[in-house]
Amino acid sequence: MQNILSKIRAELKANANEEIREGTRRFFREGIKLYGMKNAAAERIAKERWPEVNNLSKGKIFSLCEKLLSSGYQEECYVVCVWLPKMVKQFEPEDIKIFGKWIDKHIDNWAKCDTFCNHTVGDFIIKFPEKINEIKKWARSENRWMKRAAAVTLIIPARRGLFLKDIFEIADILLLDKDDMVQKGYGWMLKAASQAYQKEVFEYVLKHKQEMPRTAFRYAIEKMPPGLRQKAMR
């Protein structure tokens, strides 16, 4: 397993590009650890190593993923985010606690949060909808990325018309949060839900218009027809 880890890190380092590294930093207010490469390059490395990784037990793969996440490097997190969705059939209900621990300990910017939660955790919750209450607990965390994770986990399920009641409950919990990363997260969640439930989301936004932060409000109505957006903004 250590050999696989060494190979991946050597390949990431070999593909590092100073210009891309400095350009990427502009998108983050937080300090960020980068090798410096396009996502496509990291994805290629992850896919090339997957056949070797896939031969390991689930426990060993999860251990390898945690080692990659704990490094803090953006691209190592991205490798994990390429691998884990390939393991959905092996996911078990209690894995949500592992995912929550990883988010709390190792996720430290919006890109890691969104990439990990949109697919790995989003796929998990579609498979195990009975675990939605665990996601709602994240919304009450002190950790900004756990709170954002509660919302962005439901982006893809929301587009499929799933979890509307739970989406509104999470939005209620996060409604007055002062962190713009959290506001953008739950605004995005509402926007995604509006694709299947435009009327319901529009009514929710109107109901909370006076108290909803402007950032979340604008995200939530972004994909609605011009007439509804104008009505909401009056």
pLDDT tens digits, one per residue of 46-99? 999 999 999 999 999 999 999 999 999 999 999 999 999 999 999 999 999 999
Tell me 84's DSSP state: G
Do 36 and 20 touch, CB atoms closer than 8 A? yes
CB atoms within 10 A of CB 199: 9
Q: Would you list the DSSP string of 99-115?
A: HHHHHHHH--SHHHHHH
Residue type, 185: G
Residue-level pLDDT at 149: 98
Mark the ranges of the chain whose per-residue pLDDT is less than 70. 1
CATH number for 95-234: choose from 1.10.4030.10, 1.25.10.90, 3.40.50.300, 1.10.760.10: 1.25.10.90
Q: Is the pTM of this model over 0.85?
A: yes
Domain ranges, ordered by start, for the chain: 1-90, 95-234
Tell me 73's DSSP state: B
Distance from CA of residue 27 to its chain's centroid? Answer: 16
